[in-house]
Structure 1
């Protein structure tokens, strides 16, 4: 795998379009845009980013493209309100793409109701999703989401 921008002037032979969940891989059969299939088999799980390049056994490149996904765009009233909304989403362990002036999350009508109840403007959008990587994204941590006698209330 080559990070975005490190392929030199070589042109990829094909692209693979993946959602954010599909971009977290270790071993996976990838269906490329032009109907070819390639087996990705890495030593450890990675989070592929939009624009990353996969190097085939024959030395050719395949570009990773982030797929458009059905999301909510959450717009706050103020910068402080954005922080408060992000806190509520994080408290629920929701994946979020946090930007200056907005937050993107996967669609969930219950969360939409919560956010509008908190004063946010929420609208449907369809675009690539790049959620922030959590504090435990590194290899070897073994973090699970079992709730060990603590509450989030």
Structure 2
């Protein structure tokens, strides 16, 4: 008879701050978060090793590439950007970007293409407008709002 012994997962405590890339702290683990999940204020997360911790920040943040959560014990939990379904868009970029923005769709801009999260309705519309579309899996980094870097949460910042 085989007996499966499950390792007890740790509770890493509470993370009350976000650290920038290159923070130099010992890592307690990693969490893989997609674009939507990288915007948070208070949430219980689980590392890729199964260890839980509470994120309790003073205000909602949009986590940049390379960010980490600062744990109360001095260690950090690294944030890894998940690869998600995206569309790479080529063509008349100013025109295509205008139509994407007119639908309030987050959009990442590069010199020769645009990137949006996969959406069959937008994909059909853009193809109808002559866009070249390539489906891909990649971390998603859309442009921030007009009033600041990253996501914006109103006009009072």
Shorter-chain TM-score: what band? 0.7 to 0.9
Structure 1 residues 43-81: Cα deviation after superposition (integer angstroms, max 9, x where no partner): 1000012210111010101111100101111112xxxx1
* Residues 40-49 or 104-113, more deviating: 104-113
Distance, in Å, in 1 between the alignment partners of 2:155 and 2:116 is 25
Structure 1 residue 106 and structure 2 residue 117: aligned?
yes
Q: Which has the larger radius of gyration?
A: 2
Structure 1 residues 85-138: Cα deviation after superposition (integer angstroms, max 9, x where no partner): 111100110011111111111111111111111111001101111111222544
Structure 1 residue 63 and structure 2 residue 78: aligned?
yes
| Correspondence 1:47-62 to 2 at 5 A | 47-62=62-77
TM-score between the two structures when normalised by the length of structure 1: 0.83
Asked if structure 2 preserves the Cα contact closer than 8 Å seen for 1:49 and 1:66, the reply is no
Question: What is the match of residue 155 of structure 2?
Answer: 141
Task: Give unpaired runs (5+ residues) of structure 1.
Answer: 143-153
SS of equivalent residue, structure 1 residue 13 = strand
RMSD: 1.5
1:117 to 117, 122, 128: 128
Distance, in Å, in 2 between the alignment partners of 1:73 and 1:4 is 27
TM-score between the two structures when normalised by the length of structure 2: 0.81
Question: What is the match of residue 19 of structure 2?
Answer: 2
Distance, in Å, in 2 between the alignment partners of 1:96 and 1:140 is 18
Asked if structure 2 preserves the Cα contact closer than 8 Å seen for 1:23 and 1:48, the reply is yes
Task: Give unpaired runs (5+ residues) of structure 2.
Answer: 1-17
Aligned length: 136
Cα offset, 1:84, TM superposition: 1.2
Distance, in Å, in 1 between the alignment partners of 2:67 and 2:122 is 32
